[in-house]
Amino acid sequence: MHAADSTASDARHEFALVATLLVGLAATIAPGDAFIVAGLLAAAMLLAGLGMLGSGGLSERPYASLLLPATLTGAAAAAIHLVPSELWLLVALAALAVVLDRVLALEMAILAQPSSVSDSDRARVLAVAVLTAFVVFTGVAVLVPGGMPEPAGSPAAGSSAMTGGWLAALALADALAAFVIGWRIAALRFGQPAEIARSALTYALVVAVVAGLIRAIDLPRLVGPAVLTLVFYLWDAQHGSAPARRRERRFLWEMALLAALAIVVVVWNLRLTQ
């Protein structure tokens, strides 16, 4: 038993170390190429984690438990370009290694539980999800040209305009990240993949709409990612309920309203970029 625990602990440490080293290497890549690298890194860590957890016999399908560590790794590879100096880069990488190790320990403990997930574990996963969402939204804003506007009145304000294509890329990237993170949260609440996917889709829709609104009003620097993260958390607090909630007529009206708001946001941003 102790040998198995030691092996799992060693594998967890190695995963966190390799992920951190790869993020450090990503810091040397030009931001224009880092978008692709961040996505590939997240996918690579997901596959590596599947092998790690699957070989340990913790679960036949542990993919949901790896969504947050993999997404956090890819997001860090993007957000790391915001770090101003080599000293702060070392601090950021050290913090990432510790956080990844703790997240993996939490997910592995949940997988090893014979009973249902406790409320305290759900709260911990939600905290990790919120942190991951902030890092993702920050990383996307850093890599997208014009995605992180300078404050009004500063010399650099208005110097980096966002084109319609990059606006779509920002909204889609934020929405995809929200879908993946929302999937992990929903997987702790619902048993059926259809219910999980439906719940995760709502996170993606809300984040995409708000991302467009934030860009339309040019919230400066980290304010935009922070607002998106707050919206993500509030949506989870509002809709983290039983599956019956998603069969209510009110829920369908909310989805229709989100679709209408999305159309308004798209038209608004198209007019701003003309």
Q: How many CA atoms lie within 13 A of 244 on its CB side?
A: 0
Residues 17 and 134 in one domain: no
> pLDDT band at residue 97, thresholds of 50, 70 and 90?
very high
Does pLDDT of 61 surpass 90? no
The predicted model scores a pTM of 0.80
Residues 130 and 177 in one domain: yes
Return the residue matching tokens 């000293």.
Answer: 87
User: In the listed set 58, 89, 115, which residue is the last one of a domain according to the structure?
Assistant: 115
Measured between alpha carbons, how far is 183 from 127 in angstroms, rounded to an integer? Answer: 15
pLDDT tens by residue, 169-226: 888 899 999 999 999 998 888 878 888 888 899 899 889 888 877 776 766 667 788 8
User: In the listed set 50, 84, 115, which residue is the last one of a domain according to the structure?
Assistant: 115
Nearest to 181 by CA among 144, 229, 225, 215: 229
Residues 25 and 85 in one domain: yes
Domain count, the chain: 2
- Give the range of the structural domain holding residue 234, as residue numbers without chain letter: 119-274
Residues 18 and 148 in one domain: no
User: In the listed set 115, 148, 168, which residue is the last one of a domain according to the structure?
Assistant: 115
